[in-house]
Amino acid sequence: MAGLIKLVIFFFCSSVFAFSISLFLHEFGHSIFVYFITGSFPKINFNPLSGGSVLYNVTAPIITFHKILISGGGIIFGLAIGIIIVLSILRFFRSAWATPFILIGFVSTGVNSIMLFVSPFIFNLGDVIKINSLGVPIYVTFLAGGVFLYISLILFVYCLPYFGLDDSCSLKKKCAVILGPVIIYSIIILANTALVQKEKLMYYSDLIILILITLLLGVSIVHYGQKYFVKMRMKAFEIKWFHVGFSLLLSIIIFVLITVKN
């Protein structure tokens, strides 16, 4: 039991850090396209408990294609940098010390894929809704989301050893380590949203439920069907309390930086 608790705390702290950075990368992606299109770098507002936004003023008219790039810039950049981060760490940093960082890549890839895949059918706001309203067909974002969700699933298999898990672990343990921390963090996000952004409570509730369902399906597919599409090549890394302390330190630092910024 002590070992399981250690893994849960480790994954929770790593997730807080990873989600914060992946959200910033998403907003930074919007900013990059704003800069290349307008010539000025916009102001980025973000908070891992309440979302983010990019603020910019445009004096000259922007063509529809450029509007699509700006609206989709967060997803495009998030997917690209997420995949690069995961593949780079898998190649060069096979150690539990890299867990918070490889999780940035997985979270960035997974969440942006989910948004592409289902946003038009569930939400009435968000980047994908803007992209569709600008003329990109729903089936294009749906198919793109499906492809990247499959890629995320494969990356998930290779990331598991960094979470202290491998194919010898039970489904119950995998769910406890991965879903448990996400549920705890989700409750914190919803509590904060209810206090400061009540108008977005339903949106975040739906998104969190969607992420949890996707994670549960992903964990189940990996556990029962892994042998059919990809084999895990590494055994679980040994997670020690030093690693837990490191991930906790990273999560504290990111929240201090955000507090100072805001």
Let me know: does 236 contact 161? Beta carbons within 8 Å: yes
Window from 31-40, 74-83, 165-174, 228-237 with minimum mean pLDDT:
228-237
C-alpha 250, offset from chain centre: 17
Q: Output the pLDDT for position 259.
A: 58
Q: Output the pLDDT for position 260.
A: 52
What's the mean pLDDT when you consider all of the chain?
85
Q: Which residues contact 257 (CB under 8 A, 6 or more apart)?
A: none
DSSP 52: E
Q: Which amino acid is at 219?
A: V
229: β partners: none
3-state secondary structure of 169: coil
Q: Output the pLDDT for position 231.
A: 62
What size, in residues, is the chain? Answer: 262
3-state secondary structure of 34: helix
Please state, as a whole number, how many other Cβ atoms lie within 10 Å of the Cβ of residue 88. Answer: 14
Mean pLDDT along residues 147-154: 91
pLDDT band, very low/low/confident/very high, at 212 (cuts 50, 70, 90): confident
User: What share of the chain has pLDDT > 70, as a percent?
Assistant: 90
Rounded Cα distance between 33 and 66, Å, is 8
- Helices and strands, counts by H and E, the chain: 8, 2
Convert the pLDDT of each residue in 67-115 to its tens digit: 888 888 899 999 999 999 999 999 999 999 999 999 999 999 998 998 8
Residue 2 pLDDT exceeds 90: no
Mean pLDDT along residues 147-167: 90
Among candidates 171, 213, 237, 231, which has minimal Cα distance to 11?
A: 237
44: β partners: 54
Please state, as a whole number, how many other Cβ atoms lie within 10 Å of the Cβ of residue 39. Answer: 8
Burial class (CB in 10 A: 0-12, 13-18, 19+), 203: middle
Residue 44 pLDDT exceeds 80: no
Let me know: does 118 contact 124? Beta carbons within 8 Å: no
Rounded Cα distance between 34 and 57, Å, is 10
Rounded Cα distance between 14 and 89, Å, is 15
Residue 44 phi/psi, 5° resolution? -105, 125
Mean pLDDT along residues 38-65: 73
Window from 105-114, 165-174, 226-235 with minimum mean pLDDT:
226-235
Residue 123 pLDDT exceeds 90: no
Let me know: does 180 contact 8? Beta carbons within 8 Å: yes
Let me know: does 73 contact 33? Beta carbons within 8 Å: yes
Q: Which amino acid is at 167?
A: D
45: β partners: 53
pLDDT band, very low/low/confident/very high, at 226 (cuts 50, 70, 90): low
Mean pLDDT along residues 226-252: 83
Phi-psi category of residue 150: left, alpha or beta, with phi > 0 → left and psi -120 to 50 → alpha: alpha
